[in-house]
Amino acid sequence: MEWAQVLAIVLPVMLAIIIGIIYNNRRIDDLRSDMNQRFANMNQVINQRFADMNQVINQRFADMNQMMNQRFTDVNQMTNQRFADMKEEMREIKLELREIKKIVMELQKKETGV
């Protein structure tokens, strides 16, 4: 076999192989770009879900904070009212004790004076 015959056989085969490689490379590039697009879409969806979840959690914490502040305010008002009521009762008890003391002193004076 001469070189011309070898080249006549090998050259079309090599050309077919190169065309096949280029064609497959193009298909792989298409597949890669399609996969990149899918991953980008998935990334966007996941980021949106996290943003939505973050917003929901922040709203729940804000609601809980408002509820707890209201409860603390209510407890503070009730405690202040109870202390005010207790203070008033203590004043009344002091007045009653003074009256009782006066009555006891008057009775002692009457007993010693009689």
Return the C-alpha torsion angle 19, 25, 26, 30, nearest 10: 160
Tell me how far apart the alpha carbons of residues 79 and 98 are, in angstroms, rounded to a whole number. Answer: 28
Give, for all 114 residues of the chain, the pLDDT tens digit. Answer: 788 888 888 889 999 999 988 888 888 888 889 999 999 999 999 999 999 999 999 999 999 999 999 999 999 999 999 999 999 999 999 999 999 999 999 999 988 876
Domain ranges of the chain: 1-84
The residue type found at 33 is S
DSSP string for 34-74: HHHHHHHHHHHHHHHHHHHHHHHHHHHHHHHHHHHHHHHHH
Structure tokens at 80: 């202040």
